Structure 1
Amino acid sequence: MKQKYSERALAVAPSMTLEITARAAELKNSGADLISFGAGEPDFDTPAAIKQAAIGAVEGGFTKYTATAGIPALRQALADKLKRDNNLEYAANQIIVTNGGKQAIYNALQAILNPGEEVILFAPYWLSYPEMIKMAGGQPVVLPTCLEEKYLPDLDKLERLITPKTKAILFNSPCNPTGAVYPEEVLRGLAELAVRHDLWVLSDEIYEKLVYNGKKHISIASLGEDIFRRTIVLNGFSKAYAMTGWRFGYAAGEKEVIAIMTRLQSHQTSNVNSITQKAALAAFSSTEFPAMYEAFDKRRQFMVNYLRSIPQVRFAEPDGAFYVLLDVREFLAKRGITAAEMAKDLLEKQFVAVVPADDFGILGHIRLSYPIDTAKIEVGLSRLKKYLLTV
């Protein structure tokens, strides 16, 4: 028999977190007192105004196909948002609404990559980036970053990675899993390199509203006309509006690339479901975010302060998103295990779910997510501390 499955599909790596996620669900369903630091989603309910808009769409019969790129009112509202919040001037026809932020990234990569072309990532990166690059026929090229530099890229090292095959730079600020927020000087350096080497920039800004410690989110596309033209801004409402299950994302860029992404989407999924689009439109009038933000920041501070009480735990205080990346190499060395094995051990012995960071492009680390109740954070961290200090 000929090879049964495509080489392209077989090249996509499975996530080692799936086994842990499935086991955590089993333990929880069996009645275990599980504390999960795994989920990358808010624990808050979707704001009432958004839910009511969805109900209104259903009851009003707004249940048919829409334009592939989204309803005009929503695309215009997104253009207004980008101008107001990010100092970016896009027309409505320069925006596409997608089935979650993942599809925005996937469509962008499919639109720009030819077979064998390279996309530079900064490790630690979001785990789906390299797999989506491979699915688009490209090759991920990884620039490691380090805790000592707060996981910001070294621009000299970055330039040395650029080859004639390099097509794009893809990054996430604020960053999952590190919580790093790229300052203006780093973004300007990235922009200068991209313009000089004629590269696309894919800027994943899904956590833009979750920035702390007086830091400021800056969209790289706002730093000049040259970088504006070669940037595709990627975003969504999952994190800021507690809409992870609604699957709402969007991308903004030059009219031609958005038209290509729209054509691709028309043959994949067509439009985002009509009800979610009406719900997303209502998000702009939602008033719940400030309270959610305050809770996230308090939880962040609590987790950071608690972790500082654990000897030999190393991490960079996160300035954005809702994650802390822990360097646990010293503890792993004492036990002779990997981060994935530690995650399984924590789950079985302490009923604490964490994410090993191997899939994020860094070994010897685990990721903790803090969008859960502070009392649960305290219980979970006390179990983690007990585990780490018991050799």
Structure 2
Amino acid sequence: MSKLPNVGTSIFTMMSQMANECNAINLSQGFPNFPVDKRLTDIVARLASENVHQYTPMSGFPPLLEKIAKLTQHSYQRVVKTKDEILITAGATEGIFATIQALVNANNEVIILDPSYDCYEAPILLSNAKPIRVALNNDFTPNWKKIKEATNENTKLIIINNPHNPTGKTWTKNDFVQLEKLVDSFPNLIVLSDEVYEYITFEEAHISIHHRPKLWNRSISVSSFGKSFHITGWKIGYVIAPEYLMTEIKKVHQFLVFSVNSISQVAISEYLDIVDVQSLGSFYQQKRDFFRNLLKETKLELLPCEGTYFQVASYANISNKDDLTFAKQLVTEIGVATIPISSFYANGTATKCIRFCFAKDDTTLIQAAERLMKL
């Protein structure tokens, strides 16, 4: 009997397969198609012949832990202990999985805000716990009334994602005030903050869980070097949590992967000395603005994009078809692969919206826009 009976081929795999079969431009999966910073690849090339190929300590390469602590202090003015509060993970997904498996017990409840990324629910179900899906507002902001109504003494975690995938929305200070009130009301509640796009925000600066001292002892943050440095195939991220929670997370992590691949840790540790992570927002804002300007000539209605490298668009004035059907039609007839937003909801909520990834080179975006003008 399957432990995950409702899990099949993901929408991301499906749309990428269709893109390959139809020779379509793939704007569905969230991976960049432009070169990695040559400074980083040069570091990797040099390290390949050095003695960096054996296990690192379970928590991570010590110099990298130090660099993350320094980065966190510089970005958020938060001081974290390298030995006890930071863990290098095999991507953000492993960090999320290990956290949920470590902290959530059978029959606990975990709040997920829909639309949501698909890696949250499986580890909850594998813990014999109950995912509670709470819909965001129509503009994809948190509905605090519904969230509070869904929270009870048995709620162990609330998972937040800011900046938000798939919609590109970001949280306001008031959202964090409301979150603090919720945590105050439920002493057993812990926050799992998915911040993999933390350095990819635009007009408004990112507000992190790290900016909120009241939440530090009750929260876990998850970050991604893969997203920040467009090296998604490296599958390397990190978790920051107070020691009493991190102790439990490490217990699971050591039996999942024990330690993350060594050469990537050493390479990123060196790269952090020369890269300006604060410049990532302006880099991707140029991509966003370029893509949005191209799509102005189409019949699609563009929704606000405040962070991430995804652009959501409504096709409501083009077609009455459901978004999965419309997305498949885009691949087969127009030659552009996207992701239907309904796939991020537990109940497949119909929004007549699709998601584009604009982390692509200019030529790819131009060609995609030319095809979309045929709609």
Contact 1:49/1:282, CA 8 A, preserved across alignment: no
Which residue is equivalent to 2:243? 255
Moved more, 96-105 or 320-329: 320-329
Which of 34, 42, 48 is the matching residue for 1:58? 48
Match of 2:160? 171
Unaligned runs of 5+ in 2: none
Shift of 1:235: 0.3
What residue number does 1:115 align with?
A: 106
- Measured after TM superposition, the shift of residue 51 of structure 1 is 2.2
Cα shift at 1:326: 2.1
Does residue 366 in structure 1 map to residue 354 in structure 2? yes
- Residue 59 of structure 2 aligns to a residue whose secondary structure is coil
Normalising by the residue count of structure 1, what TM-score does the alignment of the two structures yield? 0.88
Q: Single out whichever of 353-362 and 99-108 deviates more from structure 2.
A: 353-362
Q: Over aligned residue pairs, what C-alpha RMSD do you find? A: 2.1
Mapped to 2, the partners of 1:293 and 1:328 lie a distance apart of 27
CA distance in 2, matches of 1:71, 1:17: 32
- Residues 300-334 of structure 1 deviation map (CA, whole Å, 9 limit, x = unaligned): 113334444544x444210100111223345442x
Q: Give 3-state SS (helix, strand or coil) of 1:321's partner.
A: coil
Report the secondary structure of 1:381's partner residue: helix
Tell me the CA shift for residue 253 of structure 1: 0.5
Whether the 8 Å CA contact 1:221–1:231 is kept in 2: the answer is: no
- How do residues 183-198 of structure 1 correspond to structure 2 at under 5 angstroms? 183-198=172-187
Q: Which residue does 1:322 correspond to in 2? A: 309
1:125/1:176 contact within 8 Å kept? yes
Residue 170 (structure 1) shift: 0.5
Question: Alpha carbons of 1:136 and 1:46: their partners in 2 closer, same or farther (altered >3 Å)?
Answer: farther
Contact 1:11 1:134 in 2 (8 A): no
Q: For residue 67 of structure 1, report the CA deviation from its aligned partner.
A: 1.2
Instruction: Select 1:69's aligned residue among 59, 63, 81.
Output: 59
* Number of residue pairs the alignment of both structures matches: 369
Q: What is the aligned counterpart of 1:133 among 124, 131, 139?
A: 124
Task: Decide which of 13, 22, 34 is 2:17's aligned counterpart.
Answer: 22
By how many angstroms is 1:11 displaced?
4.2
Write the distance in 1 (CA, Å) between the matches of 2:259 and 2:53: 12
Q: Provide the rounded CA distance (Å) in 1 between the counterparts of 2:334 and 2:158.
A: 40
Q: CA 1:182 to 1:347, structure 2 compared with 1: closer, same or farther past 3 Å?
A: same
Taking the TM superposition and a 5 Å limit, the aligned residue runs for 1:212-361 are 212-213=202-203, 215-225=204-214, 227-287=215-275, 293-311=281-299, 313-329=300-316, 331-333=318-320, 337-361=321-345
Corresponding position of 1:105:
96
Higher mean alpha-carbon deviation, 288-297 vs 323-332, is at 288-297
Residues 171 and 251 (structure 1 numbering): CA distance in 2 closer, same or farther, change over 3 Å?
same
Q: How does 1:74-89 map to 2 (within 5 A)?
A: 74-89=64-79
Tell me whether 40-49 or 177-186 shows the greater mean CA deviation. 40-49
SS at match of 1:69: coil
Q: Secondary structure at 1:45's aligned position in 2?
A: coil
Distance across 2 between alignment mates of 1:250 and 1:295 = 23
Aligned-residue identity in percent: 24
2:161 corresponds to which letter in structure 1?
Answer: N
TM-score normalised according to structure 2 size: 0.91
Distance in structure 2 (CA, Å) of the matches to 1:38 and 1:61? 38
Deviation at residue 205 of structure 1 after TM alignment = 0.9
Separation in structure 1 between the aligned mates of residue 297 and residue 96 of structure 2, nearest angstrom: 38
